[in-house]
């Protein structure tokens, strides 16, 4: 049942959602603009006698998550772009070990140390397997404080269902802004289903080993093939998106997260001018919602990809549309958020109206 | 109804608190709300700005670029607010600190001597609450009909003793807006 609405920052709302999802262990290291999330977990995890550790580094934090997840505990970490880069080794190892865990990335402007303002430059890293090796993991992209809470809550279930890390890919705007949010019922960590694959609690069974290594190429090939069959199943079942006024649209804006909020505003302004503009918002970035987007392809319909980067998701849009529609790009980087007015001007330019 | 407000002043003037209280009241009145602060190195005397929206429908971009109303709490904020404000928008100016008149003639300027009014209540720190009342009155975006209970839950129990003076400041701010 939905609780009464609370006014919260996105960072705090993701923290509360994780606590309610039954997160038993949080490991993090401070970085702007996600600090409120770590601070929230420090207060509330300890209050509930669960595990909170501020690690000595991001590398350490992700490996602590690996350890906790190996025991079958619901475990998570959070960071922002440069910190997520440091965690990539651990994420690759977790994917190789098929461990369910949750990672939140409140993106800021990069590359390098970059800036602390909102950005979406980590799309490639998040959706292409940011570490070494041949792997993917679920990537969920919230557009609001409410959705940030809902997706974080669900991320723990999805991680266990699909036996993989799940990343919530937010940005500085989602993390720092306040909106009304209501939460789902808290889950009791003590009542979580037992995981037969987990280490620890060894009684009357063979020891479980959790590792990402396999030195026999023949055997390793089988393991990877099996994992990729799971990826195919995820692609078939997990593609999520939101669609607004695409049916009659001459131009469809494709955007996720904060960019989708800006796109919605520009779309509404365009509609008021009588321009047939729609919006397609991927909610899962991996798997990319290619089935529905592909159905929208039409030689008479144009697409405009809107991102807070120099253009990353546009590659998935182009792959999906496969030359059947014209695709162009509009973006801001360095920590700038595109304005509804500038995007509207671009829409009018493309439609010659 | 959608009211997009841009609030600007210097760190320590209570810009962030004012914005948060505004959307909190909006949420309690059943509206969709968003509050997005300029974040970075927060410090007294630094830049304090916030994009604040209350609306009866889903809010698109939380970043306010063409505000319906702007709050100018100090001199430095005037040029920025003047540049962005929508034609026929409302500019609420803290005339205690802002001594220059806006150049634009296509906006409605409301001068509120927030610091003087706050001092008459007992503390210049109430200046933001005076402005809060003025914003409610000038825009009509919020009813503020359950203000007392909203303030009690906003401040929390430990600080509830400050509620009456804040209510008085908000009331004085409303009165300061000529009908």
Q: How confident is the model at residue B42 (pLDDT cuts 50, 70, 90)?
A: low
Is A130 contained in some domain? Answer: yes
| CA-wise closest residue to A313 among A110, A103, A141 | A141
In chain B, what residues touch A7 (CB-CB under 8 Å)?
20, 23-24, 27, 33, 35
What is the tens place of the pLDDT at every residue in A14-58?
A: 999 999 999 999 999 999 999 999 999 999 999 999 999 999 999
Query: Does A184 share its domain with A280?
Result: no
Task: Count structural domains, chain A.
Answer: 2
**In terms of domains, do A233 and A249 share one?**
no
What is the model's pLDDT at position A3?
A: 65
Cβ atoms < 10 Å from Cβ of B147 = 21
Residue A118 is assigned to a structural domain of this protein: yes
A170 and A251 assigned to the same domain: no
Confidence category of residue B41, pLDDT binned at 50, 70, 90: low
Chain A residues touching B35 at Cβ < 8 A = 7, 177-179
Give the pLDDT confidence of A85-121 residue by residue, as tens digits: 999 999 999 999 999 999 999 999 999 999 999 999 9
What's the CA gap between B64 and B86, in Å, rounded?
Answer: 11
CB within 8 Å of A155: residues ≥ 6 apart: A21, A102, A138, A140, A166, A168
Predicted confidence (pLDDT) per residue in A116-141, tens digit = 999 999 999 999 999 999 999 999 99
Alpha carbon distance A150, A14 (integer Å) = 8
Residue at A25 is within a domain:
yes
Percent of chain A scoring above 70 in pLDDT: 99
B56 touches chain A (CB under 8 A): no
- Nearest residue in chain B measured CA to CA from A172: B39
CB A148 within 8 A of CB A13: yes
| A32 contacts B20? CB cut-off 8 A | no
Q: How far apart are CA A258 and CA A264, in angstroms?
A: 10
Tell me, what's the pLDDT at B134? 98
**Domain-located, residue A198:** no
Asked if A222 and A257 sit in the same domain, the reply is: no
Q: What is the CA radius of gyration of chain B?
A: 15
Residue A237 near residue A287 (C-beta atoms within 8 A):
no
Whether B149 contacts chain A with CB within 8 A? no
Q: Which two tokens stand for residue B97?
A: 């600190």
Tell whether A251 is covered by a domain.
yes
Give residue A183's pLDDT.
97
Check CB contact of B24 with chain A, cutoff 8 Å: yes
pLDDT score at B179 = 61
A225 and A271 fall within a common domain: no
Is the pLDDT reported for residue B46 higher than 90?
no
Answer whether A173 sits within 8 Å of B23, measured CB to CB.
no
Residues in chain A with pLDDT values less than 70: 1-3
Residues A175 and A323 in one domain: no
What is the value of ipTM here, to two decimals? 0.95
In terms of CA atoms, which chain B residue is nearest residue A259? B61
**A184 plus A227 within the same structural domain:** yes
CATH code assigned at A259:
3.40.50.920
Quote the CA–CA distance of A199 and A161 in Å, as a whole number. Answer: 18
Tell me the β-bridge partners of B149: none
Tell me whether residue A204 is in a domain.
Answer: no
Look up the CATH number of the domain holding residue A54: 3.40.50.970
Q: Residue A312: inside a domain, yes or no?
A: yes
- Check CB contact under 8 Å for A177 and B62: yes
Report the candidate in B92, B10, B95, B93 with the shortest Cα–Cα distance to residue B50. B10
Please give the residue range of the domain that contains residue B15: 2-175
Question: Quick one: A297 exposed, middle or buried, by C-beta within 10 A (0-12, 13-18, 19+)?
Answer: middle
- Are both A148 and A175 inside the same structural domain? yes
Percent of chain B at pLDDT exceeding 70: 98
Residues B55-89: tens digit of each pLDDT: 999 999 999 999 999 999 999 999 999 999 999 99
Query: Which pLDDT does position B44 carry in this prediction?
Result: 77
Give me the count of residues in chain B.
179
Do A151 and A114 reside in the same domain of the chain? yes
A178 touches chain B (CB under 8 A): yes
Is it the case that residue B157 has pLDDT exceeding 90? Answer: no
Same domain, A22 and A150: yes
Residue B85, Cβ neighbours under 10 Å: how many?
24
- Could you give the count of Cα atoms lying within 13 Å of A217 in the half-sphere of its Cβ? 0
Q: Check B23 against A7: CB less than 8 A apart.
A: yes
Cβ contacts of B36 on chain A, cutoff 8 Å: 173, 176-178
pLDDT class of B146 with cuts at 50, 70, 90:
confident
Residues A45 and A67 in one domain: yes
Q: Domain holding B59: CATH number?
A: 3.40.920.10
The alpha-carbon gap from B176 to the nearest alpha carbon of chain A, in Å, equals 29
Restricting to A residues 248-267, those with a Cβ less than 8 Å away from any Cβ of B are 258, 261-262, 264-266
Of chain A, the percentage scoring pLDDT greater than 90 comes to 96
Question: The domain containing residue A251 runs over which residues?
Answer: 244-351
- Give the number of domains in chain B: 1
Q: Chain A: residue nearest B154 by CA?
A: A7
Distance from CA of B120 to the nearest CA of A (A): 32
Query: Does residue A177 belong to the interface with chain B, where contact is any CB pair within 8 Å?
Result: yes
Which 8-state DSSP code applies to residue A190? Answer: G
Give dist(CA A48, CA A69) in Å, integer: 19
pLDDT at site B15:
95
Can you give the pLDDT at residue A1? 44
B62/A339 CB distance under 8 A = no
Does A231 lie in the same domain as A256?
A: no
The whole-angstrom distance between B165's CA and the closest CA on chain A is 23
- Residue A300: Cβ within 10 Å count: 7
């Amino acid at each position: 049942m939905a609780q009464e609405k609370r006014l919260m920052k996105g960072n705090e709302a993701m923290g509360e959602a994780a606590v309610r999802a039954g997160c038993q262990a949080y490991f993090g290291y401070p970085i702007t603009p996600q600090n409120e999330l770590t601070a929230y977990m420090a207060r509330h995890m300890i209050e509930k006698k669960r595990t909170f550790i501020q690690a000595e580094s991001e590398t350490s934090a992700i490996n602590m998550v690996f350890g906790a997840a190996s025991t079958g505990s619901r475990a998570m970490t959070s960071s922002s772009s440069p910190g997520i880069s440091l965690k990539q080794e651990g994420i690759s190892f977790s994917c190789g070990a098929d461990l369910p865990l949750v990672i939140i990335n409140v993106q800021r402007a990069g590359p390098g140390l970059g800036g602390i303002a909102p950005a979406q430059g980590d799309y490639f890293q998040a959706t292409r397997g940011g570490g070494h090796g041949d792997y993917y993991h679920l990537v969920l992209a919230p557009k609001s404080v409410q959705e940030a809470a809902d997706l974080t809550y669900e991320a723990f279930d999805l991680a266990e269902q699909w036996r993989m890390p799940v990343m919530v890919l937010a940005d500085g705007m989602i993390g720092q802004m306040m909106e009304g949010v209501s939460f789902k019922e808290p889950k009791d960590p003590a009542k979580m289903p037992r995981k037969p694959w987990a280490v620890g609690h060894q009684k009357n069974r063979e020891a479980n080993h959790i590792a990402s290594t396999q030195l026999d190429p023949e055997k390793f090939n089988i393991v990877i093939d099996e994992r990729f069959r799971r990826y195919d199943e995820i692609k078939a079942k997990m593609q999520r998106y939101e669609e607004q006024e695409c049916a009659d649209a001459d131009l469809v804006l494709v955007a996720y997260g904060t960019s989708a909020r800006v796109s919605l505003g520009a779309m509404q302004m365009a509609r008021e001018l009588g321009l047939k503009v729609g919006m397609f918002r991927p909610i899962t970035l991996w798997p990319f919602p290619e089935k529905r987007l592909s159905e929208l392809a039409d030689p008479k319909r144009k697409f405009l990809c809107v991102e807070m980067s120099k253009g990353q998701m546009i590659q998935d849009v182009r792959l999906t549309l496969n030359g059947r529609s014209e695709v162009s790009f509009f973006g801001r980087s360095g920590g700038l958020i595109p304005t509804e007015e500038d995007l509207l001007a671009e829409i009018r330019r493309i439609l010659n109206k | 109804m959608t009211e997009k407000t841009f609030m600007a002043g210097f760190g320590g003037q209570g810009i962030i608190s004012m914005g948060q209280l505004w959307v909190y009241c909006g949420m309690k009145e059943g509206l969709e709300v968003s509050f997005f602060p300029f974040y970075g190195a927060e410090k007294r005397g630094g830049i304090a700005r916030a994009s604040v929206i209350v609306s009866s429908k889903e809010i698109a971009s939380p970043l306010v670029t063409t505000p319906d109303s702007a709050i100018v709490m100090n001199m430095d904020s005037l040029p920025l607010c003047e540049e962005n404000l929508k034609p026929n928008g409302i500019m609420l100016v803290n005339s205690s600190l802002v001594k220059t008149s806006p150049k634009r003639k296509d906006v409605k300027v409301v001068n509120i001597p927030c610091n003087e009014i706050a001092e008459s209540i007992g503390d210049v720190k109430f200046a933001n609450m005076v402005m809060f009342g003025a914003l409610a009155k000038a825009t009509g975006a919020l009813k503020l009909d359950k203000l007392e209970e909203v303030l009690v839950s906003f401040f929390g129990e430990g600080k509830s003793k400050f509620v009456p003076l804040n209510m008085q400041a908000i009331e004085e701010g409303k009165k300061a807006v000529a009908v």
